[in-house]
């Protein structure tokens, strides 16, 4: 079966150059990069070259990059390492990826103050609400307390891009206000940029953040490797112990083949995000998919369709049917999509992200995410437009929800 793969926010196909680099590393660069002998140091040089390549993708100093096992570990490292829970105020949203949402729940149980800023119907953060919360929870802070703001740059389910400039400005304004009052405010901004890196131009300095998460397999790199960028001067207490790797911030022998593959993927992604014509081509395919589905199924809802979104993401609600049934029907016809985050697959509950946005439950229950990549073809979209209306139309007749 020739698959039409429209699940690229879950993972992307590794680029051929990445596969070749990983295979070469497995064959030739297998020594431990922490060893002092020449073979080990040759591997160390390749690992540091990859660090530089990844850092260039987000315009960051290489020494500020910590390699991890992926985006989830990077998010956890950011959230659990900046302060003890009983000395932490954590400000976030209810539409974050589970890698932020679930650590937030644990932090609350461990004594942290956890508050959520508002989002609108399209899933955009209210800068005014965030500013109000930051002011409220940093007004009486002292040097022993830390406030951490964590926002997902681009949502993995809807593709909505947050107003990062306004968010960073709210954090910066709170710091300036504290300085004017003679306070030394510990206020940090973490951006989960897992879906943004490789799709949008990313510059850590312009973003105005202190920590940033990224994962290789979201931009045609290998799985099992990611990174956390940490601004110089931000101190972390490592949560993974067992060695002095990554400058003592993340113990354990590095995943050298994965890191090298991530470096190659970063170079390819850097060239792509600067190619406006290539991005425009895929955006046009995404729009064609949405418009074709809505023409065939007039009751269809495009969730967050009025907001600025990633060029590759369409979250489509089919009221009256179950998303799981739609996905199974599509899969039988060779079309791959998903309902919500891949990490939550298997759940029959509607997406907590969509519900937190205020989307009605019948729509949320029937919402499916289609996510394209830079490799998606027009023929694949045309095939999807043949399959999706047939599958959904049949389900509306034989398996309608109450």
- Asked if 307 and 160 count as a contact pair (C-beta separation under 8 A), the reply is yes
Q: Do domains 4-13+275-397 and 16-272 have the same CATH topology?
A: no
Q: Tokens at residue 351, please?
A: 């997406």
- Asked if 228 and 78 count as a contact pair (C-beta separation under 8 A), the reply is yes
pLDDT in tens, 300-340: 999 998 999 999 999 999 998 999 999 999 999 999 999 96
List the Cα angle 233/235/236 in 5-degree steps: 150
Place of tokens 């002092």: 36
In whole angstroms, how large is the CA radius of gyration of the chain? 22
Neighbours of 107 (CB within 10 A): 22
- Reduced to 3 states (helix: H, G, I; strand: E, B; else coil), residue 344 is helix
CA distance 349 to 356: 13
Structure confidence at residue 401 (pLDDT): 57
Structure confidence at residue 177 (pLDDT): 85
CATH 3.40.640.10 fits 16-272, yes or no: yes
CATH 3.30.70.20 fits 4-13+275-397, yes or no: no
**Low-confidence residues in the chain, pLDDT < 70:** 139-143, 340-348, 399-402
Q: Answer yes or no: 336 catalytic.
A: no
Structure confidence at residue 340 (pLDDT): 67
Classify the phi-psi angles of 27: left when phi > 0, otherwise alpha if psi is within -120 to 50, otherwise beta.
alpha
Q: Where are the domains of the chain?
A: 4-13+275-397, 16-272
Catalytic residue among 200, 343, 355, 396: 343
* Parallel, antiparallel or unpaired: strands 65-68 and 226-230: antiparallel
Rounded alpha-carbon distances, angstroms, from residue 208 to 7, 167, 168, 251, 324: 30, 9, 5, 28, 39
CA distance 153 to 26: 34
Structure confidence at residue 348 (pLDDT): 61
Structure confidence at residue 141 (pLDDT): 60
Place of tokens 């659990």: 80
Structure confidence at residue 133 (pLDDT): 92
């Amino acid at each position: 079966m020739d698959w039409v793969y429209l699940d690229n926010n879950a993972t992307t196909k590794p680029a051929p150059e990445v596969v070749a680099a990983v295979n070469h590393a497995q064959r030739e660069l297998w020594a431990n990069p922490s060893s002092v002998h020449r073979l080990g140091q040759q591997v160390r040089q390749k690992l540091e070259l990859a660090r530089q390549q990844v850092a260039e993708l987000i315009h960051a100093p290489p020494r500020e990059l910590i390699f991890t096992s992926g985006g989830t570990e990077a998010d956890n490292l950011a959230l659990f390492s900046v302060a003890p829970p009983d000395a932490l105020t954590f400000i976030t949203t209810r539409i974050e990826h589970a890698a932020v949402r679930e650590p937030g729940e644990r932090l609350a149980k461990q004594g942290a103050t956890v508050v959520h800023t508002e989002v609108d119907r399209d899933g955009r953060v209210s800068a005014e609400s965030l500013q109000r919360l930051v002011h409220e929870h940093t007004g009486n802070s002292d040097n022993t307390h830390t406030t951490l703001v964590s926002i997902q740059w681009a949502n993995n389910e809807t593709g909505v891009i947050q107003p990062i400039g306004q968010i960073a400005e709210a954090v910066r304004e709170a710091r300036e206000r504290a300085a004017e009052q003679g306070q030394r405010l510990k206020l940090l901004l973490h951006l989960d940029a897992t879906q943004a890196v490789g799709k949008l131009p990313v510059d850590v300095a312009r973003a105005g953040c202190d920590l940033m998460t990224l994962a290789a397999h979201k931009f045609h790199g290998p799985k099992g490797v990611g990174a956390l960028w940490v601004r110089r001067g931000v101190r972390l207490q490592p949560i993974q112990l067992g060695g002095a790797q990554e400058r003592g911030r993340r113990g354990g022998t590095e995943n050298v083949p994965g890191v090298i593959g991530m470096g190659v993927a970063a170079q390819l992604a850097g060239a792509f995000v600067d190619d406006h014509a290539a991005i425009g081509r895929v955006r046009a395919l995404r729009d064609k998919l949405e418009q074709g589905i809505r023409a065939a199924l007039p009751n269809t809802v495009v969730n967050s369709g009025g907001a600025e979104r990633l060029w590759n993401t369409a979250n489509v609600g089919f009221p009256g049917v179950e998303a799981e049934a739609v996905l199974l029907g599509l899969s039988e016809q060779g079309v791959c999509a998903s309902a919500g985050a891949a990490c939550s697959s298997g759940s029959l509950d509607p997406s907590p992200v969509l519900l937190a946005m205020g989307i009605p439950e019948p729509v949320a229950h029937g919402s499916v995410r289609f996510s394209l990549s830079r490799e998606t073809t027009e023929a694949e979209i045309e095939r999807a437009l043949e399959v999706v209306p047939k599958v959904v139309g049949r389900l509306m007749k034989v398996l309608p929800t109450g």
